[in-house]
Amino acid sequence: MTGTELKELFHESPEECHRELMREYGKYVYAIVFNKLRSCGTQEDVEECFCDVFTEIFLKFEYDDSMINNIKAYIGTVAKHKAIDRFRSLSAANSHSVYIDEEEMAGLVSDFRVDDHFESSELRRILIQNIKELGEPDSTILIQKFYYNRKSAEIAKTVSMTASSVRSRCTRAMEKLRGKLAEAGITV
């Protein structure tokens, strides 16, 4: 749901808008908060920070229109800042230090980030949903071509068309898909 749609929903029913924000972006916010606080906080700290994020968003949503154009980025920024603030306060409260040498630390470091993984899986979900909305045979052609890396001749056998028909359908389907993704705020 876009920021504009959420703002319209807010004017109709603030409670429904808040529910929709939580449903749409709850997992995203939780992933960010959990990733930042997992090393120093308890489950209760994570949940409290999660609630603080949505409290700030709800309070500003009514008055601030600057976030409407890119609501997901705004929500991600608020979540990240709240989690960093909570991390700092928890670290200061638990100021006991444990010595870990550099060799041990090198074994613990990972480049996997939950929030980045969540964003890419969310993007994939939106992409598949929009491909399916194109209908048959366009959705089958795009999935076969770009997910399974099949050639037009192979796809043509599957959908009972000629290879040139598959190529032209693919081109038109890609144009439709770009339009649908642009409406959703995703640029390709």
Distance CA 8, CA 65 (A): 12
CATH number of 3-94: 1.10.1740
Long-range pairs, 50-56, Cβ under 8 A, ≥24: 52/82, 52/86, 53/29, 53/78, 53/79, 53/82, 53/83, 54/18, 54/21, 54/22, 54/29, 56/82
**CATH of region 114-183, choose from 3.10.20.30, 3.90.550.10, 1.10.10.10, 3.40.50.300:** 1.10.10.10
Distance CA 123, CA 120 (A): 5
Greater confidence (167 vs 120) lies with 167
Whether the pLDDT of residue 114 is over 60: the answer is no
pLDDT tens column, 9-24: 767 877 887 788 788 8
Task: Indicate the pLDDT class of residue 118, thresholds 50, 70 and 90.
Answer: low
Q: What is the pLDDT of residue 162?
A: 92
Whether the pLDDT of residue 110 is over 60: the answer is no
Would you kindly state where each structural domain of the chain is located, as residue ranges? Answer: 3-94, 114-183
Greater confidence (188 vs 136) lies with 136
